[in-house]
Structure 1
């Protein structure tokens, strides 16, 4: 398909689409021809995820909201999004664009998290008691 005019500043560029398109599943070819391109639908999905708006608020330039949602949900159920992510990460890793090293947390942050964990443990012990401390009543 020919290049689609980028209608909004956050839509996929031609270079981004060229990197993404080979990892998309092949079209089934069954049924009637699609009314909207996959690029439009994926841009609609990206718009909805980025804004957090309801699916019904997806702009019409990306296709009918139910079509955009249907593609998102179908690919989610089939695990296609995870496969696309893994494939794109593998390509970026092969090109040396990903640094997989993990940095250590600063000492203060580590100490703070231990304090939080201890306080959660204390609260958990208090709330696990049956009955009320004041009245002394206990649940069976």
Structure 2
């Protein structure tokens, strides 16, 4: 809590309910995928938990916490980039035009999904997160995360990131790309196969995030709130 408290908004007027108890209740709900009304009584009124969760998510508190803790462990050698699909529950897609336009939910062969794009360090710990609709390509996520890349030597990615503009952008930053070439390429692109094997760490990271029920299945209509759930899971699993 000593590391987290500086990121919380200051209390004005009447002292608010204990942050530790409320945060523990928020983590319990997100990890187990429960309704807020099903929170155990030990965490206090469920309305308090929900109101604090919604208010802090809108302010980007949980995203700032993850970014701040990740900045304390600066990566200097290798980062990895990838994306995964997260299923959207009917509660997140209902009552919206075309299945929830503006909520970053898209239809794919697997149904209604949101796509999580992430950059992690050499140990598989998430550094930057970005969400899009499920049908959005890897290139969109790569373009959005490009500016948040740290000053490193290597970037590992799969064939979905094999684009000339992306390789040139990495080269301008002084980063060497370890990305296999697409099969449609006329000229073969060489990559370090031994180094590329380490990319499984970002796949493991996605699997651990999906152990949290409200991350694996999206129940929140607001994309900012859903991204807060992912950032909270990443903080608890990797940065605390």
User: Taking structure 2 as the reference length, what is the TM-score of the superposition?
Assistant: 0.32
Unaligned runs of 5+ in 1: 1-16, 115-140
Is the partner of 1:73 in helix, strand or coil? Answer: helix
Equivalent residues, number = 90
Cα RMSD after superposing both structures: 3.1
CA drift of 1:85 comes to 1.8
1:22 partnered with 2:6? yes
Question: Structure 1 residues 92, 23: closer, same or farther in 2, change over 3 A?
Answer: farther
Unaligned runs of 5+ in 2: 76-120, 123-149, 160-179, 185-240
CA drift of 1:23 comes to 2.3
User: Taking structure 1 as the reference length, what is the TM-score of the superposition?
Assistant: 0.52
Radius of gyration: which is bigger?
1
Residue equivalent to 1:41: 22
Bigger relative contact order, structure 1 or 2, given CA contacts below 8 A and separation 6+?
A: 2
Q: Which has the higher strand share?
A: 2
Question: Structure 1 residues 51, 80: closer, same or farther in 2, change over 3 A?
Answer: same
Is the partner of 1:39 in helix, strand or coil? Answer: helix
1:81 partnered with 2:134? no
Residue equivalent to 1:62: 43
Is the partner of 2:26 in helix, strand or coil? Answer: helix
Question: Structure 1 residues 78, 104: closer, same or farther in 2, change over 3 A?
Answer: closer
Residue equivalent to 1:122: none
